[in-house]
Every structure is written in structure tokens, then in C-alpha cells.
Amino acid sequence: MRIEYRLLPDCERKEPPAPGAELGFGQLRTDHMFLMNYSDGGWHSPRIVPYGPLELQPGAMCLHYGQTFFEGIKAFKHADGEIYCFRADKNAERMNHSAEILCMPAIPEDMQLEAIHRLLDVDRRWCPSEPQSSMYIRPFMFATQDSLGVKPSKEYLYCVMLSPSGAYYKGGFSHAIRLLVTRKYHRAVSGGTGTAKAGGNYGASLRPQEYAKSFGADQVLYLSADNGAIEEVGTMNHYHVLKDGAFIIPDFGDSILRSVTSLSVLELAALGKARARQEVIRVDKFLDDVASGEIIEAGGFGTAAVVSPVGEYVFEDGRTLTVGNGGVGEHSRRLYEMYAAMQTGDLPAPDGWLRQVKHY
């Protein structure tokens, strides 16, 4: 791919945050972004340009019919000073899955990876290295054709932006969150767009999230609209841990996003480095098992969330149910520490999970 570089002169580049500064999640931007257009049946004009406003017609179809999706990927600065992208190939694959679901064009995975790596190379001085921090990479695609007919757009823009970030939930891994158990709202239905990282899925999650907050919870534990089985949390997959230390992740079905973190935990289990499997989980049985102590820990897996423990389930009638000791459990801690150490290069990761960003 022949990428055009239109880079800021050194004197116009911003200063990255000082080491140790509070980064927050998704707040900061680096100096540049990657853009590529799709029209006349093909991708063209790949370029790295200063990060800034995009020009868009008011009739751009993404603004009206939600033809847009995104990904979330992380890169880490290792002790050797180099930057390594973590499992971006999995996200590139899921990007094309989302594209298929939303009738949008695929981007060859090697092109996506090159775009990400070249942008990381240009803005490499922004990559943080504090514990629980990373360069959060946000690729996304949206429909740009100026047309009001409800049909797939013929034109798109693919964009990659970077955000040096800390933990997704305030307090990071050491803070256990609360989930509202409700049958009032559902995230996705069978046959819908639940397996895509569609912007609309996240837009639709805002009202349930506000509802959860009104009960003092951080997020909703979504249940299947079909059979009440546990699905996911919207910003992450859900897991629980049995007394014997096994991590149980809900069966993906076709209404749950296939979290790269969940897939990685399952792969670690296949390699004998963790105990994990998938099951259909009936919520009533789940809650009984939490109450009886059969389930000793719970939490979420996600790129942004990594491993985020859940301490309490909250109900609309005011009841609450504590998992284990209500804090961060030992199994979750051990898994988190192993996974994070693999990401940062402090423990060897399975082959192919980390790819060094070249100095192009």
C-alpha cells in the first residue's frame, strides 16, 4: 500500500503527557490519524494526516442510518523501548465481520494492520508505559455517500485514531464494579447486529446505562431477549468463576460480541495456562449459585476493560447480591496479572499475539 504522509512539522506537534500523568480513557489524541476512502468499488488514497476535523456532507448516510462501526485495539511499550501491537489481527478479522453485517466493504487485513502500524510508528513518542496504560487504537469506518435512500452507501471513509489511555473503569483492576440485572432492556436479539461492533449497538446502550446508574450500578448485565440467558455487559463480555477456579464465559450465540479478550482466555485455557470454557448460563441459576457461594467471583473481559471484576449485582427492587467478598477475587487477579504481563512483555505470550511496530 502506498501511503501518503502529510505530517505536522515538529514545532506544531503537541507534547505527550508527562510520565505518571492521569490519562483517563479515550480522552487524549495524538498528532496524526490514518484515512482511506472507498468509492467506485475500491479502497484508495491511504494517507496519514494531522488529527483534526473531517469534512462531511449533511446528507452523509452514516449520520442518518447508522452505517458505522469501530474496533478497539491496544499497543504497549515494552522494556526494550519498542511498541508492540496486541492481537490486532483478531480485530482486523472482526472489523470485516462487522462490515459484512452492516453491508459495508471489507478491508484486506494486511492493509488494516499496515495502517495501524504505520500510524503507531509516526506517533510512537505518545505511547505510554505506566502500569495499566496503553496506546488505545480506534479504527472505524462510516458511510459518506450523500443520499437519503435507505440502502448501503457506495462511499466510505476508514479512519484510525490513537488515544494514549489508562484503565477504562476508574480505579482500574483494583475496583470491583456493580451490574444491574434487568429484563427491561436488551442489547441485541438473535438475527440482529449483536456480533458487530456497530455504532448503533452502543448508541442503544446509553439509555439502559443511564437506567443502571439510577440504581447505583455501573452497567447493565444484559440477558437474552429469547431465553433470559446471560449475554454480556455492552462494554465487555461477562464471566464468572466457579469454586474450582474455572472461568465460565457465556456461549457467544449470534447476539454477543466475540471479545478478543474472551477468545484469548479460552486459547490460554487450551494451552493449559488457565481454566475456562463457555456455557449457556441461565440467570436464575447463576444468581442462586452466587448466593450459595458456588460462584465465587465474576467480572468482564474486554479490550478496554481487560479483566474488570464485578463485586455486586443490583436489582430494581433495591436488593443487592454480593459475589464472593465483593472485591477483587484471587482468580481474577491472577488471570489479570498473567494477561497484562503478556501484553507488556513481562511474560511470554503465545506465538503471534504480539507484533512489533517497525521503524518504517
Closest CA to 179 of 320, 330, 25: 320
Q: Using CB positions, name the residue nearest to ligand COI.
A: 72
Judged by CB, which is closer to ligand COI: 122, or 304? Answer: 304
Q: In the bound complex, what is the minimum distance in angstroms from residue 11's beta carbon to ligand COI?
A: 33
Does residue 304 touch ligand COI according to CB under 6 A?
A: yes
Q: Are 67 and 152 in contact (CB under 8 A)?
A: yes
Radius of gyration of the chain (CA): 21
Does residue 72 touch ligand COI according to CB under 6 A?
A: yes
Cell digits of residue 231: 449475554
Supply φ then ψ for residue 53, to 5 degrees.
Answer: -60, 150
Judged by CB, which is closer to ligand COI: 202, or 315? Answer: 202
Judged by CB, which is closer to ligand COI: 8, or 113? Answer: 113
Does residue 160 touch ligand COI according to CB under 6 A?
A: no
Cell digits of residue 63: 449520520
Q: Are 57 and 144 in contact (CB under 8 A)?
A: yes
Count residues near ligand COI (CB under 6 A): 8
Does residue 332 touch ligand COI according to CB under 6 A?
A: no
Q: To 10 degrees, what angle do helices 260-270 and 88-101 make?
A: 130
Does residue 139 touch ligand COI according to CB under 6 A?
A: no
**β-strand 83-86 against 177-181: which pairing, if any?**
unpaired
- Rounded alpha-carbon distances, angstroms, from residue 290 to 134, 281, 310, 343: 33, 13, 12, 31
Judged by CB, which is closer to ligand COI: 119, or 305? Answer: 305
Judged by CB, which is closer to ligand COI: 232, or 297? Answer: 232
Does residue 198 touch ligand COI according to CB under 6 A?
A: no
- Site for ligand COI (CB under 6 A): which residue of 139, 166, 302, 329? 302
Q: Which residues of 92-116 are buried (b: 16+ CB within 10 A; e: fewer)?
A: bebbbbbbebbebbbbebebbbbbb
- What DSSP letter does each residue of 246-275 carry, written as one string? -EEEE--TTTS---HHHHHHHHHHHTTSS-
- Site for ligand COI (CB under 6 A): which residue of 145, 165, 255, 303? 303
Q: Which stretch binds ligand COI (CB under 6 A): 186-194, 284-292, 296-304, 317-325?
A: 296-304
Q: In the bound complex, what is the minimum distance in angstroms from residue 237's beta carbon to ligand COI?
A: 10
Letters for 219-258 (x = contact with ligand COI by CB under 6 A, - = none) are ----------------x-----------------------
Binding site for ligand COI (CB under 6 A): 72, 168, 202, 235, 302-305
